[in-house]
Amino acid sequence: MIKDLSEFLGKEVTLKGWLYNERSSGKVKFLILRDGTGLLQCVYFKGNVSEEVFDLASRLGQESSIEVTGKVKVEPRAPGGYELDATGLKLISEAHDYPITPKDHGVEFLMDHRHLWLRSNKQVAILRIRHRIVKAIRDYFDGHGFTLMDPPILTPAACEGTSTLFETEYFDLGKAYLTQSGQLYAEAGAMALGKVYTFGPTFRAEKSKTRRHLTEFWMVEPEVAFAELNDDMDLAEDFLEYIVQTVLKDKAEELKVLERDTTKLQKVKKPLPRISYDEAVDILKKNGIDFQWGNDLGGTDETVVSNQFDKPVMVHRYPAEVKAFYMKRDPQNEKLALAVDVLAPEGYGEIIGGSQREDNYEALLQRIKEHNLPQEAFEWYLDLRRYGSVPHSGFGLGLERTVGWICGLDHVRETIPFARMIYRNTP
Ligand code: 4AD
Ligand code: MG
């Protein structure tokens, strides 16, 4: 593999991959090979190789699959720092008229060719960082006494509001819905195991056409028994620091490919600032925004608030009206929910949403009624308050928004292999 070339300096190697790019100057042909682990410049001198090999090197189309043989040399000017003094070339499968050329393409064209766009250097770097983030998430929770629990994807009811449910017919049982969040099931798990996390795809029939919204996205959701809102915030900041610092340490190369300014990520260390919703409203007003107390923070409001800080900021105690039915009210002020949103810096907006959960049976039943939710569908959830209810809290981190922020991308569509959005469900 190209990434292991440093161990083969001065030796002859054979590598398989695809032709990424090529150029020639007279009697020399430069083929850039990619193999998924890196790029390698392979140099074919007309005098050094057979006529057959030189001809082949001269007529290959971009993305032809090939096998190259040659000696590994140090070449600081070449991508990756090594070069192949090539002698052999075999064709595996010839490609012509590859649609994605080194010139600039519009993003819709690239999204239509997403299955091929994935091969480009930047997309490979993003996918590798995504993978590292997923592993960091798992390592963090596995190392802190959490048990992974997989919730169902087909569910009988809403969790995060009825307006964004994808529905489907479910045999003789009526309608089923694609899950918006594994949280309610994680709560059942926390009562069984103490600390659990769910991690999987979630769905929102979002009408929003913003750079932060997908209709199918991945969410990780820890849930902890005997934890209150402050404990939830302690967990969120420790977790975020771990993820960001791990990626900085392990994925420096990829972040460089993406030209990410990592000085901003280096600042993501505990403690993170904590402000109340009321304080956030003050910040908005001081910045000349005509904001009505009681509204949810919109995308631009979040940007204005987070621009006051050089780290993610935790905004807690939102008006209960704009938050989900399951959140516990603040005993100090019944109008407020014990909620927390973590807003990423640099305008990336909400990456975490969490709360302390309503653990009182009567109060929860009342919320279910106020939200016009079907009580029968929530009887099992009410059972968690009937039988040994305890204070508990958790949050959900959106994987794609986190990848977008850490990679410094303009839009979440590049953070997931095949994005699903309001106007796109292909390829
Ligand atoms: O704030 P949300 O809706 O919270 C929940 O679903 C809770 N049940 C989580 C919990 O407490 N266990 O979503 C959580 C996170 C958001 O902060 C955001 O990062 C991401 O999920 N998210 C989306 N990401 C991409 N596209 C969308 N349409 C998203 N909706 C939410
Ligand atoms: Mg939210």
Same fold, 2-93 and 114-415: no
What distance in angstroms lies between residue 167's CA and the mean position of ligand 1's atoms? 19
Ligand 1, atom 2: closest residue by C-alpha:
353
What pLDDT score does 3 carry? Answer: 94
What distance in angstroms lies between residue 202's CA and the mean position of ligand 2's atoms? 13
What pLDDT score does 26 carry? Answer: 86
In our burial notation (b when 16+ CB lie closer than 10 A, e otherwise), range 184-221 reads bbbbbbbbebbbbbbbbebbbebeeeebbbbbbbbbbb
220-244 pLDDT, tens digit per residue, is 999 999 999 999 999 999 999 999 9
**Which residues have C-beta within 8 Å of that of residue 231, sequence separation ≥ 6?**
224, 393
291-332 pLDDT, tens digit per residue, is 999 999 999 999 999 999 999 999 999 999 999 999 999 999
What pLDDT score does 191 carry? Answer: 98
Nearest Cα residue to 71 out of 83, 80, 81:
83
What distance in angstroms lies between residue 3's CA and the mean position of ligand 2's atoms? 40
Q: Which amino acid is at 94?
A: E
Question: What is the CATH number assigned to the segment(s) 114-415?
Answer: 3.30.930.10
Q: How far is CA 334 from CA 6, 75, 327, 338, in A?
A: 63, 67, 11, 10
What pLDDT score does 118 carry? Answer: 98
15-35 pLDDT, tens digit per residue, is 999 999 999 988 999 999 999
Q: Which of 166, 184, 196, 401 to mutate to test the pocket of ligand 1 (most atoms within 8 A of CB)?
A: 401
Peptide bond into 156 cis (omega under 30): no
CA–CA distance, 390 with 388 (Å, rounded to integer): 6
What pLDDT score does 155 carry? Answer: 97
Q: Count of alpha carbons within 13 Å of 182, Cβ hemisphere only?
A: 26
| Domain boundaries defined on the chain | 2-93, 114-415
What distance in angstroms lies between residue 179's CA and the mean position of ligand 1's atoms? 12
Ligand 1, atom 23: closest residue by C-alpha:
398
CATH architecture, domain defined by 2-93: Beta Barrel (2.40)
- Tell me: pLDDT of 51 over 90: yes
Tell me the ligand closest to 183's alpha carbon: 1
Q: What is the mean pLDDT of the chain?
A: 97
What pLDDT score does 333 carry? Answer: 98
Residues with CB under 5 A from ligand 2 (ion): 353
- Name the pTM for this structure: 0.97
Residue 309's CB is within 10 A of a number of other CB atoms, namely: 16
What distance in angstroms lies between residue 285's CA and the mean position of ligand 1's atoms? 26
